[in-house]
């Protein structure tokens, strides 16, 4: 519905009034939750068919990242198994009795870091036939403080080129996830979730300093969009964005693009790598978020009189899970 000329003039007059501007400056300053500097590490691993070996390698690399000063560590998507829908049923674990969860909890405690445990194929506790692609998060005591089930499933069928239908095997998650850490709030998504800007928009407006995406783009979509999507989410929301990929294994059935990357709130790539196994480090500074938001004041100038605020449709519960208002 269009505003009448009188209503529009009243709104514009209100926008130029000093009390309204002061109110919006306050709102802008309060959008970012209390946050402090931290060192982020993205661990780019090459997986195998041997789950125990995958877990052991991940543990070693988490400890290496912590030794090098990382406070927050991220593992790749499906780090404990080969990547592919045909592998998910065999490697899926219930979180209540999961060797992967046990390892992740123990190493987070041993390293004294926040660990975003990539993702693992999860089997539902009550329905053995229901599987999810699930990220688990641990605090420095080893406590699991969040889970995120991949919201958007990658279903693509291009005749003669590629067919990859995750929904034939996986169920989709139904909530957004924002993790409270002592360094600030951090939002998460998994792989295909990054193509949907609403997740990052909601996270930014709910106070998150960064979005983290474990993901495994392929050799077609990786060169086209991997870095572009991260930079787009960062620029649109004036926040840090990082994506952690598996390393590339040309002997595997799925060839990951690699190139784990960290982008700052200005949209600049501040850390990246090639396709090989490595650890990518970056310093995350909330002052950079505040500086760019002050320099380009998007949060003062949005026009919610003519379009909706997507963040207002989401309620975040005490566990950091965002669900749509009823």
Domains of the chain by residue range: 32-295
Predicted confidence at residue 17, as pLDDT, reads 45
Share of the chain above pLDDT 70, in %: 90
118 by DSSP, 3-state: which?
Answer: coil
Backbone dihedral angles phi then psi of residue 124, each to the nearest 5 degrees: -60, 140
pTM attached to this predicted model: 0.90
Which residues are identified as catalytic? 77, 150, 191
The predicted model gives 137-164 an average pLDDT of 92
Is the model's pLDDT at 27 over the cut of 70?
Answer: no
CA atoms 61, 65, 67, 68: torsion sign: positive
Is 3's pLDDT higher than 50? no
CA-based nearest residue to 72, from 244, 293, 290, 266: 244
Tally of residues, the chain: 326
Under 8 Å between Cβ of 178 and 186 = yes
Structure tokens at 157: 């069928």
Q: What is the pLDDT of residue 22?
A: 43
d(CA 90, CA 296) in angstroms, rounded, equals 49
Mean of per-residue pLDDT scores for the chain: 91
Q: What is the pLDDT of residue 30?
A: 58
User: What local confidence, expressed as pLDDT, does residue 144 receive?
Assistant: 98
- Residue 16 has what pLDDT? 44
CATH topology of domain 32-295: Nitrilase/N-carbamoyl-D-aminoacid amidohydrolase (3.60.110)
Q: Do residues 256 and 247 touch, judged by C-beta distance below 8 A?
A: yes
CA distance 34 to 185: 8
Residue where the block lists tokens 């068919």? 49
pLDDT at 34 over 90: yes
| Residue 173, phi then psi, degrees to nearest 5 | -70, 165
């Amino acid at each position: 519905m269009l505003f009448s000329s009188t209503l529009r003039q009243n709104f514009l007059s209100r926008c130029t009034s000093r009390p309204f501007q002061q109110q919006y400056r306050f709102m802008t300053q309060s959008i970012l939750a209390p946050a402090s500097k931290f060192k982020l590490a993205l661990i780019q691993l090459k997986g195998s068919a041997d789950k125990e070996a995958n877990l052991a390698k991940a543990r070693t690399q988490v400890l290496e990242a912590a030794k090098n000063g990382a406070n927050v560590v991220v593992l790749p998507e499906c780090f404990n198994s080969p990547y592919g829908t045909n592998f998910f049923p065999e490697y899926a674990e219930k979180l209540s009795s999961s060797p992967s969860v046990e390892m992740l909890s123990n190493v987070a405690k041993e390293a004294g870091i926040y660990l975003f445990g990539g993702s693992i194929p999860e089997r539902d506790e009550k329905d053995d036939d229901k599987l999810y692609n699930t990220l688990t998060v641990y605090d420095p005591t080893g406590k699991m403080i969040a889970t995120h089930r991949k919201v958007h499933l990658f279903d693509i069928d291009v005749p003669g080129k590629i067919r990859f239908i995750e929904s034939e095997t996986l169920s989709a998650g139904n909530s957004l996830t924002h993790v409270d850490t002592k360094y600030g709030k951090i939002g998460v998504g998994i792989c295909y979730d990054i193509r949907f800007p609403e997740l990052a928009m909601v996270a930014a407006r709910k106070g998150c300093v960064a979005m983290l995406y474990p993901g495994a783009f392929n050799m077609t979509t990786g060169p086209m969009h991997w870095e572009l999507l991260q930079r787009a989410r960062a620029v649109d929301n004036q926040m840090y964005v990082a994506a952690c990929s598996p390393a590339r294994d040309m002997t595997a059935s799925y060839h990951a693009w690699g190139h784990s990357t960290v982008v700052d709130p200005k949209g600049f790539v501040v850390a990246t790598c090639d396709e090989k196994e490595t650890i990518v480090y970056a310093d995350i500074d909330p002052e950079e978020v505040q500086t760019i938001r002050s320099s380009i004041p998007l949060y003062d100038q949005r026009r919610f009189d003519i379009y909706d605020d997507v963040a207002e449709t989401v309620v975040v519960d005490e566990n950091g899970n965002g669900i749509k208002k009823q």
